[in-house]
Every structure is written in C-alpha cells, then in structure tokens.
Structure 1
Amino acid sequence: MDALKEIVDYGVIGLLLALGLVALGVAIERWRYFQRINPAEFQHRDMLEMALTKHLVIIGTIAANAPYIGLLGTVLGIMLTFHTMGTSGALAVATIMVGLSLALKATAVGLLIAIPCVVMNNVLRRRVSELLTLHQAHYGS
C-alpha cells in the first residue's frame, strides 16, 4: 500500500501538474500565434479556422478531465486510508481525518488545474471568434 500512496502523491498530482504546464504552453503558443496572424492572408474561412483552433482541443480536454483525475487520486487516497486503518486496527479519529484530508488534496489540485484551463480555453476561443469575424468583414463571406 505504500506504493499506492506514492502513486497518489507523485503520480496523480504530478500528472495534473504536468497537464497544467502543457495547457499553459499551448495557451502561450496560441496567443503568440494570434498576435502574428493576418486573417486577410487566408482566402478560405475554413482554413483560417483550422489554423486558429489548432491545439485548442488540448486545453479543453485538460480542463474537462483534470477534476476526474483529481477525483481518482482522492478515491485512491481514501482506499489507502481505509486499508491502513483496517490492517493496523487503529480507529483513532485523528488518523482517519489526516488520511482523508491528504486524500482530498488530489481533488483540490485537479480543480486548481481545471479552472484556469477553462478560463484560458474561453479567452482563446473568444479571440478565434474575433479573428474569424475580421476575416468575414474582409472577404464578406
């Protein structure tokens, strides 16, 4: 069960932090691309839209799944707490509360990753809409 504790502490939370860095990297790359792009260079709206939305699905996927990954870590942590209590025979309230509070950290980290990802995704998709509108104004269709 010590391996499970390591998986929860380093595996789940490490995965969430890595996903957060990936989402941040994609957001920075997209924002820089949006600053450089000239919508008038694209004759077809569909091609422009494909160029603008490239990789945005990564941020959306991380935003949607980070809370579930955190919840998985919490469930594993609670299972670990109950297993430890059962095998040690310790039913002290302090032991239970410490185990449960540590288990909940995975959910907290999942939410801390998901919420900024939702914001980044919304901001970037809004910018896509603005650039598509500029293209439509330039080409009229």
Structure 2
Amino acid sequence: MDILHQLIDYGIIGLLIALSFWAVAVAIERWLFYRQVDPRKYPDQQTFEVALTKRLVIIGTVAANAPYIGLLGTVLGIMLTFHNMGTSGTMAVSTIMVGLSLALKATAIGLLVAIPCVVLNNVLRRRVAELLSLYKVQHGA
C-alpha cells in the first residue's frame, strides 16, 4: 500500500503541478502573441481565428479536468486510509482524521489548479473576441 501512497503524493499531485505549469506557459505564450498580432497579415477571418485560438484548448482542458484528477487522488487516499484501518485493526479517530485530511489535499490542489485556469481561459477568450471584432472593423465584415 506504500505504492498507493506514493502514487497519490507524487503521481496525482505531480501531474496536477505539471499541468498547471503547462497551462500557464500556454497562457503566457498566447498573451504575448496577442500583444503583437497584426490582423492585416491574415487573408480571411477564419485563418485569423484559428491563429488566435491555437492551443487555448489546453488551458480549457486542464481547467475542466484538474478537479477530477484531484478527486481521483482523494478517492485513492480514502481507500488507502480504510485499508490501513482494516489491516491494523485500530479505529483511532486521530488515525482516521489524519488519513482523510491527507487524502483531501489532492482535491484542494486540483481546485487550486482549475480555478486559475478557468480565469486564464476566460481572459484569453475575451481577448480573442476583441481581436476578432477589431478584424471585422478593419476589413469591413
């Protein structure tokens, strides 16, 4: 069962941290692109929109799935706690509470990853809408 404990601590939480770095890197790259993009370089609105929305799905996917990955870690942690209680034969409240609190940290980290990703996704999609409106004004569409 030590493998399950390591999976929760390093696997689930490590995955969530890696996904958060990936989403932030994409957000920074997109924001820098939006600051220097020239709508006149694109022949039509569809090509411009494709360029603007490139890789935004990564941020949205991380935002949508991080809570579920955290929940998986919590479920595995609770299973580990119950298994340890069953094999040790003790029902000490302190043991149960420590195990459950450690299990819930995966959900907390999942939410800490998801909430900023939702904000980043909304901000970037708003900027895409602004740039598309600017394109329409400049091209008389």
Fold-level similarity (TM above 0.5):
yes
* Whole-angstrom CA distance in 2 between matches of 1:90 and 1:119: 45
Percent identical pairs in the alignment equals: 67
Matched, 1:84 2:71: no
Aligned-residue offset at 1:43: 2.1
* Deviations 1:50-108, CA, capped at 9 Å, x for gaps: 00000000000000000000000000000000000000011000000000000000000
TM-score (ref. length: structure 1):
0.99
Residues paired across the two proteins, number: 141
Q: What are structure 2's unaligned runs of at least 5 residues? A: none
Spell out the pairing of 1:32-71 with structure 2 (5 A cutoff): 32-71=32-71
- 1:96 corresponding residue in structure 2: 96
What RMSD, in angstroms, separates the aligned Cα atoms of the two structures? 0.4
AA partner of residue 131 (structure 1):
L
Whether 1:24 and 2:14 are equivalent positions in the alignment is no
Moved over 2 A (4+): none
Partners of 1:99 and 1:16 in 2: how far apart? 20
1:107-128 deviations in Å (ceiling 9; x for gaps) = 0000000000000000000000
Q: Which amino acid aligns with 2:102?
A: L
Q: Structure 1 residue 41: deviation in Å?
A: 1.6
Give me the whole-angstrom Cα distance separating, in 1, the residues matched to 2:121 and 2:101. Answer: 30
TM-score by length of 2: 0.99
